[in-house]
């Protein structure tokens, strides 16, 4: 007997028991129903017979506002391809492809597919790679599951134009078998949030200066502007005797002022710290799930490709960017730099 048949049997039993006993209150007490329920069943029975006592199913919900199936499929696909993106970023990226879905709509799709947290989206990526034949070692999984729980505050930094202040820091990536420890030297222009990164097997003053010499200063020269000041922490790769430290000497030769953060205050260099969180979530935690790297050059190649996407195609919600890409913000800010140079010349 189905559940629905049992319910109808109980309803009929209530009506018959009340008729036999001649006492509605007593029948309701025996069957566990209220008097109001009894009279409602009695009225339904008189008007429509036994058919009226059957449970009426609720009408189906109105799904007119649900996103189209193709958009939902695109949201789910992006959740596994780029699990670090938030709902606003996903909405912006799909808008580029002509798919209109709000941030709230993205969130609803995530909830329906059990993808609402970053950890769940990473898990979905792992399952997808396992189904497609990707192999992950236990050590890699354990290392990648370890995340930064200390969400360091990104303090406000005064910056007027590109090149006004650059932020540099060292980021420990991990250890590659056969290669050793991997460090990333990072530079971020605090105005435009344009980022640069280069990988090394050690953190020394030479590697810190090499990033500026190889990547940063050539980029600024190509844009026709200069870098005025740089902000770093007090690590040994950045600080030392002015007349003997390679990094300090490099800054002096290139006429770049050096500002240091407060002691034990990483939030002072918050823009670079926030960039490290982004590159960790959007590149390293995804890349190491897709591929086994055996050389530093192989990892650098993929990092360079991600940096191009970050600077040229990824929308940014920074104070100066306002939804533009970092490179667009940099190019638009060059006019401010030139106006300032003309003002100083006058």
Q: Which residues pair with 198 in a beta bridge?
A: 185
In this predicted structure, what is the pLDDT of residue 1? 55
Same domain, 19 and 76: no
Strands 229-232 and 166-176: parallel
Beta carbons within 10 angstroms of residue 221's beta carbon: 11
Contacts of 251 (CB under 8 A, 6+ apart): 230, 257, 258
Domain-located, residue 149: no
Domain-located, residue 158: no
Give me the domain span that covers residue 129.
Answer: 69-135
Ramachandran category for residue 54: left, alpha or beta (phi over 0 → left; psi -120 to 50 → alpha):
beta
8 Å CB contact between 53 and 12:
yes
Same domain, 273 and 182: yes
Same domain, 179 and 313: yes
192 CA to centre of own chain: 20
Same domain, 186 and 327: yes
Same domain, 87 and 193: no
Q: Is the full-model pTM beyond 0.75?
A: no
Q: Which residues of the chain have pLDDT under 70?
A: 1-7, 50-64, 133-157, 344-346
Same domain, 89 and 115: yes
Domain-located, residue 42: yes
Same domain, 341 and 199: yes
Domain count, the chain: 3
Same domain, 122 and 184: no
Predicted confidence (pLDDT) per residue in 221-247, tens digit: 999 999 999 999 999 999 998 889 999
8 Å CB contact between 216 and 196:
yes
Domain-located, residue 39: yes
Q: Which residues pair with 199 in a beta bridge?
A: 184
For residue 286, the domain's CATH number is: 3.30.420.10
Domain-located, residue 153: no
Same domain, 95 and 237: no
Domain-located, residue 150: no
Same domain, 338 and 238: yes
Same domain, 221 and 336: yes
Q: What angle do CA 55, 56, 58 make, to 5 degrees?
A: 125
8 Å CB contact between 93 and 78:
yes
In this predicted structure, what is the pLDDT of residue 46? 77
In this predicted structure, what is the pLDDT of residue 143? 36
Same domain, 128 and 178: no
Domain-located, residue 215: yes
Domain-located, residue 61: no
């Amino acid at each position: 007997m189905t559940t629905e048949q049992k319910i109808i049997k109980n309803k009929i039993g209530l009506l018959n028991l009340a008729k036999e006993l001649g006492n509605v209150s007593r029948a309701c007490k025996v069957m566990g129903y209220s008097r109001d329920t009894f009279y409602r069943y009695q009225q339904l029975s008189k008007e429509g017979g036994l058919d009226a006592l059957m449970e009426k199913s609720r009408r189906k919900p109105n799904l007119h506002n649900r996103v189209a199936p193709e958009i939902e499929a695109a949201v789910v696909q992006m959740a596994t391809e780029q699990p670090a993106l938030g709902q606003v970023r996903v909405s912006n990226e799909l808008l580029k492809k002509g798919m209109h879905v709000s941030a709230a709509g993205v969130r609803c799709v995530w909830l329906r597919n059990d993808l609402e947290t970053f950890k769940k989206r990473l898990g979905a990526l792992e399952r997808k790679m396992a189904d497609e034949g990707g192999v992950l070692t236990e050590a890699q999984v354990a290392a990648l599951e370890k995340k930064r729980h200390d969400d360091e505050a990104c303090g406000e930094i005064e910056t007027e134009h590109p090149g006004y202040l650059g932020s540099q820091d060292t980021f420990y990536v991990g250890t590659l078998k056969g290669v050793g420890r991997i460090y990333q030297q990072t530079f971020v222009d605090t105005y435009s949030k344009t980022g640069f990164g280069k990988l090394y097997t050690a953190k020394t003053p030479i590697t810190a200066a090499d990033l500026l010499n190889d990547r940063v200063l050539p980029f600024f020269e190509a844009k026709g502007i200069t870098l005025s000041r740089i902000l770093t922490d007090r690590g040994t790769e950045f600080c030392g005797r002015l007349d003997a430290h390679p990094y300090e000497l490099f800054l002096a030769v290139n006429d770049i002022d050096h500002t240091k953060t407060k002691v034990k205050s990483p939030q002072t260099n918050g823009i670079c710290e926030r960039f490290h969180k982004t590159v960790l979530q959007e590149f390293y935690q995804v890349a190491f799930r897709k591929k086994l790297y055996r050389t530093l050059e192989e990892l650098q190649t993929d990092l360079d490709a991600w940096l191009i996407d970050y600077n040229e195609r990824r929308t940014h919600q920074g104070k100066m960017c306002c939804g533009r890409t970092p490179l667009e913000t940099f190019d638009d800010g060059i006019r401010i730099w030139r106006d300032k140079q003309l003002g100083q010349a006058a």
